[in-house]
Amino acid sequence: MRTSTESALRLTVYVGENDVWRHRPLYSEIVHRAREAGLAGASAFRGVEGFGASALVHTTRLLSLSEDLPVAVVIVDRPERVRGFLPELAELVEEGAVTLDEVEIVRWARESDRDGDQNQHGDEGEAR
C-alpha cells in the first residue's frame, strides 16, 4: 500500500435545515450545483444542536420545539476550483456562513496501481 498527499481547500457552508431555494432545500441545491460545477465531491451533514446569528439554539432534543436544525455542506477540491464556486454560492445563500480551510488530502493506492494498472473503479474519486 502506498500513499500520496496533495493540498486542497475545504469549503463549509452553514445553513438551516428549513432554508430553501425555489422550493428545494438549500443544502440539496448546493450539493447539486457543486456536482454540476464538476467539483470533486460535496456532502451535507445535519447537526443535532447548534445556533447561529440569531443566537436561538436549535436541537433534536425531544422537548424542544425547534426543528430547523443546522446543516453543514462540505466541499473539498483544488483551491482554484473551490474559489471558482464561491460566486455560485453568493447567488444561493442569503443568510449563513461559509468557511474556507486549507487541508491536505491523503490517498491510499494498492502497489499494483503504481505500475499503471487501474483499480476496479477507474479514476473515480480523484481530485480534479
For residues 49-72, average pLDDT: 69
Average pLDDT, the chain: 83
Check pLDDT > 60 for residue 116. no
At 47, the pLDDT band (50, 70, 90 cuts) reads confident
Check pLDDT > 90 for residue 110. no
pTM, 2 dp: 0.75
Question: Could you report how far apart the first and last alpha carbons of the chain are, in Å?
Answer: 22
Q: 3-state DSSP call for residue 103?
A: strand
Per-residue confidence (pLDDT) for residue 124, from 0 to 100: 46
- Quickly tell me which residue has 477540491 as its cell: 77
Residue burial 58-71, b: 16+ Cβ < 10 Å; e: rest: bbeeeeeeeeebbb
At 72, the pLDDT band (50, 70, 90 cuts) reads very high
Return the minimum-mean-pLDDT range out of 73-77, 86-90, 105-109.
Answer: 105-109
Portion of the chain with pLDDT greater than 90, in percent: 55
Going from N- to C-terminal start, the domains of the chain cover 2-109
Under a CB-based contact definition with an 8 Å cutoff, are residues 100 and 14 in contact?
no
Per-residue confidence (pLDDT) for residue 121, from 0 to 100: 44
Range 2-109 has CATH code 3.30.70.120 = yes
For residues 122-127, average pLDDT: 48
